[in-house]
């Protein structure tokens, strides 16, 4: 989106390029530090019986820093997630006018979020708290206003290559900020007008973080609540103990993408099931399930595997829409298997033994994977796709080639359940293992190229993703403070007396939650509310957990805001509407599977001890 400046060819590196390299270098440094500190923590406990003081706090705050810096990098490269550039469909000069309009609103929201961060920093300045010795909390939090200011500047630069139009963008943004900051918006009519402006901007192509963050800003201002509450919610979630697993597993996923692990896994699974009708489509289901299980992030699976699986599906004769829908949908599989992080987090929040959640989720996970594989077989038969003859020699060779890659889940399982590591430390171990395999065993890529490519790409992806999550967190905070979830569930308690009807309403509610909220946020916010309510309908706690996770897994695919839809559009550079249409048949298949899981509790409880 950002056009390069007009510079004379002097042979020197342009300042903007030098700045970009510095940003990329800082982001790689942060990622490497996030991976090394947990490993040093493990070594410290083993060698001198003590960890590294403050390492957990540093890793958690590094997640905040990498999120805001990555968001600025995504804005720099025009990679912020949006619904699509509807403004680009208009002819000039309307296209330029609409682009300035959307950029102005996005810039204004970024500036208001920066002001929210500044208010938080100012409050912490007075309290003088420290993250670790010599690192005041206000310094760590200063990345929030600094990051949003940098994003605002990048959006202004990306609005147009012409300085006149950039100046118009900045002026319009300043006017919108003044309007929101004034007391005028406390009245109903100006508040509604501001909401309409924001909605129009989002439809025309404004970034999604501006939509979610903008709604949060407008709602807080209309309620006359200090905007610092938004940044406080952002800080609380992004520095949570479990969230560092996201950038670390994303880093590991990109490390695997830079190498040839996708090719080796595809070869291995193709040797097993390639002879079946729809063989490569079934391979897609299996490989995506494998990746999501150990990364815990379905979006990372789409990013990591899309580059090899989509061309493979198309080469075998599958239609483009079917291939796109299969890859997007399969990315959400695997979230019920050990050691997937959402299962662990749900068990912790709900107070359920982790091993029971793993046992309860195993058969439902297999069931969802099986119905997706069956639909894939159907697609292969209809497309008359080619098959691969079975060969025991090829299976042995493929298994030997992929042996180090197939050990990845074992590393995570041993780390967590062997008592060697926390989930964050296990994620760091995954990064180390993946990098070691790619650089020193397979030698697919050198260390410098791996850090440059995997580090920068994962920072851009995680930044755009965490920016969206941060904005959604502010909106969620307002909804919780306003008592919206409690009001809804109290109504359910009073209006619904049938267990079957309650489960149906719960499905609808959780699908909406999964569509609009990140799964980690949903677990933390929603589980404490619905768990006591479900107990009144005599629903087994583990069964409720599986229903919850299965619905949120499906919520990743629900328009208009399912996260995997945006990830797929982002990865494959497809229009958002095309991705939604491609996913619809798979969404219906998985919805049927989720209903079976909901109304057949024995599928969950069969493996549980009495």
Same domain, yes or no: 437 and 487: no
For residue 107, is it within any domain?
yes
In tens, the pLDDT along 282-325 reads 988 988 888 787 665 566 678 767 777 888 888 888 898 999 99
For residue 254, is it within any domain?
no
Question: What pTM, to 2 d.p., does this model score?
Answer: 0.75
Same domain, yes or no: 533 and 411: no
Same domain, yes or no: 376 and 338: yes
In tens, the pLDDT along 436-457 reads 988 888 888 888 888 888 888 8
Which of 206, 238, 270 terminates a domain? The answer is 238
Could you tell me which residues come within 8 angstroms of residue 393 by beta carbon, excluding any fewer than 6 positions away? none
Same domain, yes or no: 28 and 137: yes
With tokens 């550039």, the residue in question is 85
Same domain, yes or no: 226 and 144: yes
Same domain, yes or no: 161 and 118: yes
For residue 490, is it within any domain?
yes
Same domain, yes or no: 298 and 205: no
Which of 204, 238, 272 terminates a domain? The answer is 238
For residue 122, is it within any domain?
yes
Same domain, yes or no: 161 and 208: yes
Q: Which has the minimum average pLDDT: 226-235, 349-358, 398-407?
A: 349-358
Residues 202/561, Cβ–Cβ less than 8 Å: no
For residue 3, is it within any domain?
no
Same domain, yes or no: 497 and 373: no
Q: Is the pLDDT of residue 93 over 60?
A: yes
In tens, the pLDDT along 198-234 reads 999 888 888 878 888 898 899 888 888 888 888 887 8
Q: How confident is the model at residue 110 (pLDDT cuts 50, 70, 90)?
A: very high
Same domain, yes or no: 565 and 598: yes
Same domain, yes or no: 217 and 98: yes
Per the structure, the count of domains in the chain is: 3
In tens, the pLDDT along 256-291 reads 777 777 778 888 888 988 888 888 889 889 888 887
Domain hosting 335: range is 259-445
Which of 397, 427, 445 terminates a domain? The answer is 445
For residue 409, is it within any domain?
yes
- The residues facing 442 across adjacent strands are none
Q: Is the pLDDT of residue 416 over 80?
A: no
With tokens 């559009």, the residue in question is 569
For residue 455, is it within any domain?
no
For residue 251, is it within any domain?
no
pLDDT score of 197: 92
DSSP string, 69-137: HHHHHHHHTT---BS--GGGGSPTTHHHHHHHHHHHHHHHHHHHHHHHHHHHHHHHHHHT-EEETTEEH
Question: Which has more confidence, 134 or 420?
Answer: 134
Same domain, yes or no: 55 and 190: yes
Distance CA 342, CA 286 (A): 19
């Amino acid at each position: 989106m950002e056009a390069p400046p007009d510079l004379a060819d002097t042979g020197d590196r342009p300042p903007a390029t030098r700045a970009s390299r510095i940003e990329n270098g800082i982001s790689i440094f942060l990622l490497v530090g996030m991976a090394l500190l947990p490993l040093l923590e493990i070594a410290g406990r083993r060698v001198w019986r003590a960890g590294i003081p403050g390492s957990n706090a540093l890793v958690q705050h590094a997640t905040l820093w990498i999120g805001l810096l990555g968001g600025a990098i995504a804005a720099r490269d025009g990679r912020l997630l949006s619904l699509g550039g509807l403004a680009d469909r208009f002819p000039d000069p309307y296209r330029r006018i609409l682009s300035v309009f959307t950029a102005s609103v996005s810039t204004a929201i970024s500036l208001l979020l920066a002001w929210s961060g500044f208010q938080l920093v100012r409050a912490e300045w007075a309290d003088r708290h420290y993250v670790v010795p010599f690192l005041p909390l206000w310094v760590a939090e200063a990345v929030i206003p600094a990051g949003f200011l940098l994003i605002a500047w990048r959006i202004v630069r990306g609005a147009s290559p012409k300085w006149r139009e950039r100046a118009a963008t900045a002026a319009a943004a300043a006017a919108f900020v003044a309007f929101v900051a004034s007391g005028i918006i406390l009245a109903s009519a100006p508040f509604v007008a501001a909401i309409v402006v924001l909605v129009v901007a989002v439809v025309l192509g404004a970034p999604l973080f501006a939509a979610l963050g903008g709604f949060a800003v407008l709602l807080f201002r209309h309620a006359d609540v200090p905007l610092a509450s938004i940044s406080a919610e952002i800080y609380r979630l992004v520095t949570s103990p479990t969230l560092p697993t996201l950038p670390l597993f994303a880093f590991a996923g990109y490390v695997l993408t830079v190498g040839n692990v996708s090719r080796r896994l595809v070869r291995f699974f193709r040797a097993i099931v390639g002879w079946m009708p729809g063989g490569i489509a079934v391979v897609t289901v299996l490989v995506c399930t494998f990746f999501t299980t150990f990364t815990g992030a379905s979006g990372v699976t789409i990013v990591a595997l899309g580059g090899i699986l989509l061309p493979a599906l198309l080469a075998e004769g599958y239609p483009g829409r079917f291939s796109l829908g299969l890859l997007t949908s399969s990315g959400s599989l695997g979230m019920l298997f050990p050691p997937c992080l959402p299962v662990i987090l749900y068990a912790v929040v709900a107070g359920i033994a982790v091993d029971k959640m793993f046992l309860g989720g195993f058969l439902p996970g297999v069931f969802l994977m099986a119905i997706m594989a069956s639909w894939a077989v159907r697609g292969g038969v209809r497309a008359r796709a080619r098959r691969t003859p079975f060969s025991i020699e090829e299976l042995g060779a493929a298994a030997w080639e992929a042996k180090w890659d197939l050990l990845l889940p074992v590393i995570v399982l041993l780390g967590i359940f062997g008592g060697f590591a926390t989930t964050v430390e296990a994620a760091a171990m995954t990064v180390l293992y993946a990098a070691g395999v790619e650089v020193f065993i397979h030698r697919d890529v050198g260390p410098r190229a791996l850090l440059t490519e995997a580090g920068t790409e994962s920072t851009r992806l995680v930044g755009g993703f965490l920016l969206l999550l941060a904005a959604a967190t502010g909106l969620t905070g307002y909804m919780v403070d306003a008592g919206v979830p409690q009001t809804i569930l109290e109504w359910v308690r009073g209006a619904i007396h049938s267990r079957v009807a309650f489960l149906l309403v719960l499905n609808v509610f959780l699908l909406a939650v999964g569509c609009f909220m990140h799964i980690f946020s949903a677990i933390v916010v929603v589980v404490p509310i619905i768990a006591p309510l479900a107990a009144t309908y005599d629903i087994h706690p583990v069964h409720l957990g599986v229903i919850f996770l299965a619905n949120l897994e499906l919520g990743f695919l629900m328009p208009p805001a399912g996260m995997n839809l945006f990830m797929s559009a982002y990865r494959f550079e497809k229009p958002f509407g095309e991705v939604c249409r491609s996913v619809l048949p798979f969404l219906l298949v998985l919805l049927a599977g989720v209903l079976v899981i909901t109304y057949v509790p024995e599928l969950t409880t069969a493996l549980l001890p009495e």
